Chain A
Amino acid sequence: MSVGAQLKVIRAADFDPASDRYLDMDCEVVAEWLCAFLKDEVVRRRGFSRVVIGLSGGVDSSLTAYLCACALGSEAVVGVRMPYRTSSPDSLEHASLVADKLGIECRTVDISDAVDGYLRTAPDADQRRRGNVMARMRMIVLFDLSAGLPALPVGTGNKTERLFGYFTWHADDAPPVNPLGDLFKTQVWQLARHMGVPDVIVSKPASADLIVGQTDEDDFGISYARADRILHLLLRGFTAERLIEMGFSADDVRLVKQKVDSTHWKRHMPTTAMLSSTSINDYYLRPVDY
């Protein structure tokens, strides 16, 4: 180095709040892992040879069907379309597309009469209540089919909606096995593309389809991509202040944190009053597979 010359400086890149690199996955490994999980949980531990999945035509239930067919074989998967009379025709069509692609049995149970029959007793029910009734009716159908077939209901909820409380308690979250519950929505999209879920399903705006024209991201007020980047760090203990300092929008951070903080109860079983020193799940602790 000549006298007076300056040393070359190599500086670490600044954090990029628009980067998804922390959410990227080796989808081959994840798919293999989730298939092993399904085989173990459905067949070995619970002794079922078939599963039943509510097929909404959306990416979560489609990916769940693909994983189950991969793990257990197409003949072991029953898809159920459960439309209400206002459901989008696209949803039904996309559910059929998945069933056809996978070669799985597909049933259709129209829940309109059952839902409307109850709602006649609650004519003033608003859209939120009506949506909850639909979701709970679908749960009833799924569990009744489970008993009749028999087949184990497999859940389809993803981590983002679980953290946002964007589901109906004791409905969408009721199935005893869930392969996607620790994947953020953007990771569900990654894995769905890897597994070959049709692009028309992966690329369409996500919707609970409980209200005509509804989309998840409109309901949230934030895109899944922005939400997942924040959730990923919030769950690792990064404070809201730190995230804002790192370049995330303060409004986004506050919105995401508020949704998580206000919905812890939805991710738990009912609260039981403790009276003894043998209170179940407080003192008396046994794992689910014990």
Chain B
Amino acid sequence: MHIEVAAAQFAPSKGDYAANLETVGRVLGQLEQSGTPPDLVVFPETALTGYFLEGGVGEHALSADRVFTDLLTTYRTHVVRPGAVVDVAIGFYESRNGHCYNSGLYATLTSAQTPDTEPALRHVHRKFFLPTYGVFDEERFVARGRSIAAFDTRLGRIAVLICEDAWHSISGTIAALDGAQIVAVLSASPGREFGSDGIGNLRRWDRLLQALAEEHGIFVVYAGLVGFEGGKGFTGSSSIYDPWGHVMARGSAIEPCIVRARIESSDIGLARRATPLLADLETALSDLVRQLEALGARMDPGGGR
């Protein structure tokens, strides 16, 4: 199965949900006009508000249903072709049960005249690992998600991870064990550690995403914010990795852009048969779970040992 995937990076207007929604609509409209409309478009973490809101998170957090409804309306404003369908993954600050989350939703959007496919909000991933160190202060302003899961889509089984989620290899492992064939990674990564060999966080992202794709034989679609917020610039570099860990396309570290690739889902089988690490893991999983449970029991509630 061929799947046209895209990752779109832009600099959101701080706290301006309507303007950012319009940007998303324009991107989807541009892609629709491209001659080869994508099947899946991944947008960055907090694309609808900007990342650093601090105590302003509560003023901008919305329900996933509201964001889905607005995305659908925006899509239908910009895409009118009968039969048009696109899946999107996008980051936003979510309000749910009185809590705020750093979330990513996955939805299927359709034009108004697409009777064969129902638009649907398919999944909401709430960021599991909240960075609260250095320049980050997420745990102060948002609550932690409690699960990492893959879900079924018309394009196969997919999982969404948000930024630091993907810095822990276990997140990708759980997603792959749950059947994910594509992992969408939504990110807002401030540039830091500028050294003689480039930008430190970008080098690390490349290692992590390559390893995520290569270890499990999955496609990885990474979308990163660009632009500056209070002197902190996000490093974009949206990219698509094949199941062998090769970069298929990569965007700028500074400028807004869209990266695209045509992926072939049967490549997953080719990569996994050559290096069946995921199958090995499945075989060994029960032993590992026993070990993890024992380790978990030895940790004190504060996280130490």
Q: Within 8 Å of chain A (Cβ to Cβ): is B97? A: no
Q: Within 8 Å of chain B (Cβ to Cβ): is A14? A: no
Residue of A at shortest CB range from B14?
A289
Q: Within 8 Å of chain A (Cβ to Cβ): is B205? A: no
Task: State whether A26 touches B228 (Cβ < 8 A).
Answer: no
Task: State whether A290 touches B56 (Cβ < 8 A).
Answer: yes
Given the complex of chains A and B, what is the CA–CA distance between A25 and B196 in angstroms? 4
Contacts of B198 in A (CB 8 A): 26, 29
The verdict on A40 contacting B227 (CB below 8 Å), with A284-B55, A290-B15 known, is yes
Task: State whether A24 touches B228 (Cβ < 8 A).
Answer: no
Q: Within 8 Å of chain A (Cβ to Cβ): is B54? A: yes
Within 8 A of B (CB), among A253-290: 283-290
Task: State whether B233 touches A33 (Cβ < 8 A).
Answer: yes
Given the complex of chains A and B, what is the CA–CA distance between A280 and B227 in angstroms? 27
B232: min CB distance to chain A, Å: 9
The verdict on A36 contacting B196 (CB below 8 Å), with A287-B54, A289-B14, A290-B54 known, is no
Given the complex of chains A and B, what is the CA–CA distance between A155 and B69 in angstroms? 45
Question: Using a Cβ–Cβ cut-off of 8 Å, how many residues does chain B contribute to the interface with A?
Answer: 23
Q: Within 8 Å of chain A (Cβ to Cβ): is B195? A: yes
Contacts of A29 in B (CB 8 A): 194, 198-199
In the complex, per-residue mask of A13-55: 1 if CB is within 8 Å of any chain B CB, else 0: 0000000011011100110110011001100010000000000
Q: Within 8 Å of chain A (Cβ to Cβ): is B52? A: yes
Binding site for B on A (CB under 8 A): 21-22, 24-26, 29-30, 32-33, 36-37, 40-41, 45, 283-290
Contacts of A283 in B (CB 8 A): 55
Closest 10 CB pairs of A and B: A24-B196, A285-B55, A285-B54, A40-B228, A288-B230, A287-B52, A289-B230, A36-B254, A287-B230, A287-B54
Contacts of B56 in A (CB 8 A): 286-287, 290
Q: Which of B53, B197, B254 has the most CB of A within 10 A?
A: B254
Task: State whether B228 touches A36 (Cβ < 8 A).
Answer: yes
Q: Within 8 Å of chain A (Cβ to Cβ): is B229? A: yes
Task: State whether A289 touches B229 (Cβ < 8 A).
Answer: yes
The verdict on A25 contacting B254 (CB below 8 Å), with A33-B233, A36-B233 known, is no
Given the complex of chains A and B, what is the CA–CA distance between A21 and B229 in angstroms? 30
Given the complex of chains A and B, what is the CA–CA distance between A286 and B230 in angstroms? 11
Given the complex of chains A and B, what is the CA–CA distance between A36 and B199 in angstroms? 15
Contacts of B254 in A (CB 8 A): 32-33, 36
Contacts of A288 in B (CB 8 A): 230-231
Task: State whether B195 touches A26 (Cβ < 8 A).
Answer: yes
Given the complex of chains A and B, what is the CA–CA distance between A290 and B229 in angstroms? 9
